[in-house]
Amino acid sequence: MTKIKLIILLSILYSGMFGQRNFSLAEAIDYALSENSKMKQASLNAEDASLSVREFKSIGIPQINGKINYQYYIAVPQQPIVDFITPSIYQVLFDENVIPEKDLGPPRTSSISFFQPNNLSGSLEVNSLLFDGSYLYGLKAAKLYKELSVKQIKITEQEIRANVTKAYLGTLIAIETRKFFQDNLGIIQKSLNDAEKMYENGFVESLDVDRLTLSRDKINLELQKIDHVIEINKNLLKFQMEFPLQDSIILTDKFDEINQELLPNGLVDKPSINYNDRAEYDVLNTNIQLNELNVKRIKAGRYPSARAFANLQSSLQRENLFDSNETGWLTSAFVGLGINLPIYDGGTISAQSERAKVNLENLKIEREDFENSIQLVAENAWLQYQSAKMEVETNKKSLEISQRIFNKSNIKFQEGIGSSIELQQAESDLYIYQNNYINAIYGQVKAAVDLLEALGKL
């Protein structure tokens, strides 16, 4: 019986551990990068690009093809043939006066066949591209496209990092807020207990007890609401991580620690902008290189191309396929060189080349616009961060003052020289400043994340 209970207990503990995971911010980001469907798709696209390079390379590698063909003629093909021999012989006899000349009439036509009913043939053909300017530029473009696919992964990675970081911070903010409410509940509960004793001794009115009871109930309600907010934020974090929603998640990092990590010394002074730190900028540059190669590839279509080929063929033609007394295998072989000389295409290459140049100019304009947008976003993010810093400092001072006022009001109430109304007002102000301070801290960290994201350093 004891063993059964132990097994049941271990099963419960195991199931609880299995459905629960602890995550630091770094671990949450790593998990998201490994499980996120966009990352998987980006990785598959990179793999597909790598395979497309192999596929394109194969165009320039010698191609070898074998073929076996068997035909049986139900009706053997016939060729009409005119009897030109008999008239020739008679004409010689007429000319030599061997026989008197006479009218032979029209020549007779008969049929003859050069085919056997059974035909078995086999061939081996080799083709190889010797030179093609378009192929050479296309091969370079294929390799560059592979690099582009890898760079696209970095864009997706940056987005995931930012989304997971913000969701993680949102959850920590809600947890920090709950701590404030929990501390406040402890203080109010103590004040309520003291007030009840004082009421029993006739030092305070029942109205004072009722006010403190309402304050306690209000905090309990806020605790229930913040618990729901925490769960909502955790679900959002799970969604960004693509973590199973039915499993529980525990955040191991502390808000203060992340706050320090996300606010490095480099953010004390206005940071300089390096466009190359943004993965999107790198992708734009690669796209421009691709289009430059495309222009060259199209122009190379005007150049000659050369291809070499060789063929080995053997055939077996018999009345009876398995009769070895009939004619055996007949073999032929040849090699060759083919050169394609573009002469006039009606202006197709010229039009394609001009279109490619237009696309290239559009990409250059897009890159310039992106540079301007980075300047704007980074500048605004820096200003937002500075404003958030000032807001944190202001709210921190206000919170310290309101905390002192509340503490004094609470002491005065307990000593019987203060009213419950004064305590309730101080409590209400404290909650407001606590909430403002928490929101200011979150705003500062969020502004730091936005700034790091804008600079490409997240």
The residues near 372 (Cβ < 8 Å, ≥ 6 apart) are none
What is the per-residue pLDDT for 430? 86
409-442 pLDDT per residue, tens = 888 877 777 777 887 788 888 888 888 888 888 8
Using CA atoms, how far apart are residues 418 and 408, in angstroms rounded to an integer?
A: 9
What is the per-residue pLDDT for 122? 92
Q: Which residue has the higher pLDDT, 27 or 449?
A: 27
| Window from 82-86, 140-144, 234-238 with minimum mean pLDDT | 82-86
Residue 303 CA from chain centroid, whole number = 38
CA-wise closest residue to 21 among 214, 249, 351: 249
| Window from 18-27, 278-287, 336-345, 396-405 with minimum mean pLDDT | 18-27
Contact 205, 199 (CB under 8 A): yes
Q: Which residue has the higher pLDDT, 283 or 260?
A: 283
Residue 317 CA from chain centroid, whole number = 59
What is the per-residue pLDDT for 395? 92
pLDDT band at 7 (very low <50, low <70, confident <90, very high): very low
In degrees rounded to 5, what are phi and psi of residue 316? -125, 120
Contact 32, 89 (CB under 8 A): no
The residues near 107 (Cβ < 8 Å, ≥ 6 apart) are 82, 83, 84, 86, 87
pLDDT band at 264 (very low <50, low <70, confident <90, very high): low
Using CA atoms, how far apart are residues 348 and 350, in angstroms rounded to an integer?
A: 5
Using CA atoms, how far apart are residues 316 and 426, in angstroms rounded to an integer?
A: 109
What count of other Cβ atoms lies within 10 Å of the Cβ of residue 157? 19
Which DSSP string corresponds to 5-44? HHHHHHHHHHHHHHTEEEE-HHHHHHHHHHH-HHHHHHHH
Please determine, for residue 13, whether its predicted confidence score (pLDDT) is greater than 50.
Answer: no
Instruction: Indicate the residue type of 236.
Output: L
DSSP 3-state of 110: strand
What is the per-residue pLDDT for 8? 39
Residue the block writes with tokens 């206000």: 398
Please determine, for residue 17, whether its predicted confidence score (pLDDT) is greater than 50.
Answer: no
pLDDT average, residue stretch 90-111: 73
What count of other Cβ atoms lies within 10 Å of the Cβ of residue 259? 17
Q: Which residue has the higher pLDDT, 331 or 180?
A: 331
Using CA atoms, how far apart are residues 408 and 425, in angstroms rounded to an integer?
A: 12
Mean pLDDT of the chain: 83
Please determine, for residue 261, whether its predicted confidence score (pLDDT) is greater than 80.
Answer: no
What is the per-residue pLDDT for 263? 61
What is the per-residue pLDDT for 214? 87
Contact 162, 214 (CB under 8 A): no
What is the per-residue pLDDT for 230? 92
pLDDT average, residue stretch 256-284: 75
Q: Which residue has the higher pLDDT, 424 or 339?
A: 339
pLDDT band at 193 (very low <50, low <70, confident <90, very high): confident
Please determine, for residue 67, whether its predicted confidence score (pLDDT) is greater than 90.
Answer: yes
Using CA atoms, how far apart are residues 290 and 360, in angstroms rounded to an integer?
A: 9
pLDDT band at 5 (very low <50, low <70, confident <90, very high): very low
pLDDT average, residue stretch 278-292: 88
What is the per-residue pLDDT for 411? 84
What is the per-residue pLDDT for 9? 45
